[in-house]
Amino acid sequence: MHKVIFDTDPGVDDAMALLFLHRHPEIDLVGITTVFGNASVDTTTRNALFLKREWGIAAPVAKGEGKTWDPMRNPVDWPVLIHGHDGLGNIDVPETIDLPVDGRPAHRFIIDTVRANPGEVTLIAVGRMSNLAYALKEDPEIAGLVKQVIIMGGAFDVPGNITPAAEANIHGDPEAADVVMTAPWKVVVVGLDVTMQTVMTRTRLARIVERGGKDAKLLSDISQFYIDFYGRHVEDGMVVHDSCACVYLVAPELFTTRSGAIRVVAGGIADGQTIQKPDSRHFPPGNWDDIPSQLACTGIEAEMVINLIEKTLVRQG
Ligand code: BDR
Ligand code: CA
């Protein structure tokens, strides 16, 4: 069983990833931590509670601080054209959900859970990297106690999606992302290089609804607005960014990876760009020296990944 903390900004594709984690038989979801990104942290936390209630998820929800690493960045713009004003595709999520939030901030929840389960917890981070960076700042020793960190974010050999250089999750808090990428823990980055190839068509989602019951119906309702947006970029479907990171956990053989130190640009026109120095390449001394090699995904068996997502989403709980 894989113990997982899901650090997320729900978010439409986050919702699909959450249902995947909930339904997968080899995954034990031990916590959901929320971060700003697709909406404010108040909204993403409310959305996490809503999905927890609707899907009967046992894992506690801990709310992030809602702050970037560098206070000057001060996030205020949310991608309402992609995820809707409510962050879940404008389905009219109730304003408040009658479920408690964990008493600890997200980063403290991460520290406590990792310390209680040394060597066992995988962090899957699919929003800004802020919570993970705060956890490392408060308790650097957790780097040696986490099993692995799987990130949806970044763009290595392809353009970004928020600027030509940067992907949204990394661009939203680049300083935090650099802290996370350069820490002495095992990181796998599932970025746009592979997620942009992974499309759930409307037809396939309809098939999932037929077999997946009311949980799948809610997921489909949430997803329609996002599909309408992505329809401009991919044919009749949605890119399933965040689910790809979850699939990596249970089926890493469906990905090709490249090993090397990863740094994140902070400031300037390439703000938020992820750059890897492949282990096979040698350069004069510089900013990629003496930090751990991490894995960046460079290839994906997209059809097999989508098949696995479908198979998992239609499992009855
Ligand atoms: C990432 O940004 C968010 O909009 C998505 O949920 C995903 O995590 C894609 O760049
Ligand atoms: Ca996300």
pLDDT-based confidence at 233, cuts 50/70/90? low
Residue 42 neighbours by CB under 8 Å, 6+ apart: 66
Select from 12, 40, 241, 297 the residue to mutate for testing ligand 1; criterion: most ligand atoms less than 8 Å from CB.
241
What CATH number belongs to 2-313? Answer: 3.90.245.10
Residue 242 three-state SS: helix
Query: Rounded CA gap, 295 and 316, in Å?
Result: 33
pLDDT of residue 79: 82
Could you report the per-residue pLDDT of 211-220, keeping only the tens digit for each? 989 999 999 9
Would the CB of 86 count as within 6 Å of ligand 1?
no
How much distance in Å is there from the Cα of 12 to the middle of ligand 2?
8
Give the pLDDT of residue 42.
96
In this structure, of 143-157, 159-173, 232-246, 270-284, the range with the lowest mean pLDDT score is 232-246
> What SS3 class is residue 36?
coil
The residue extents of the domains of the chain are 2-313
Please give the pLDDT value at position 260.
98
Task: Phi first, then psi: give them for residue 276, nearest 5 degrees.
Answer: -105, 140
Residue 246 phi, psi dihedral angles, 5° rounding = -70, -40
Res. 317 pLDDT band, cuts 50 70 90: low
Q: What is the pLDDT of residue 75?
A: 73
> What's the DSSP call for residue 264?
E
Question: What are the residue numbers of the active site?
Answer: 9, 241
Question: Which positions ≥6 away from 66 have C-beta within 8 Å?
Answer: 35, 36, 40, 41, 42, 75
Q: Say which residue, 92 or 32, is predicted with more confidence.
A: 32
- Rounded to whole angstroms, the Cα distance separating 171 from 190 reads 15
* 71 class by beta-carbon count within 10 Å (0-12 exposed, 13-18 middle, 19+ buried): exposed
13 Cα: distance to centroid of ligand 1 (angstroms): 7
**Could you give the C-alpha distances from 298 to 134, 236, 275, in angstroms and in order?**
28, 24, 13
205 pLDDT band (50/70/90 cuts)? very high
Interval 251-264: pLDDT, tens: 999 999 999 999 99
Residue 167, ligand 1, Cβ within 6 A: yes
Q: Which residues are within 8 A (CB) of 240 and not within 5 positions of it... i.e. 6 or more apart?
A: 13, 16, 17, 195, 198, 199, 200, 306, 309
**Considering only CA atoms, which of 119, 41, 79 is closest in space to residue 32?**
41
**Is the pLDDT at 234 greater than 70, yes or no?**
no
Per-residue pLDDT reduced to its tens digit, 144-184: 999 999 999 999 999 999 999 999 999 999 999 999 999 99
3-class state of residue 41 by DSSP: helix
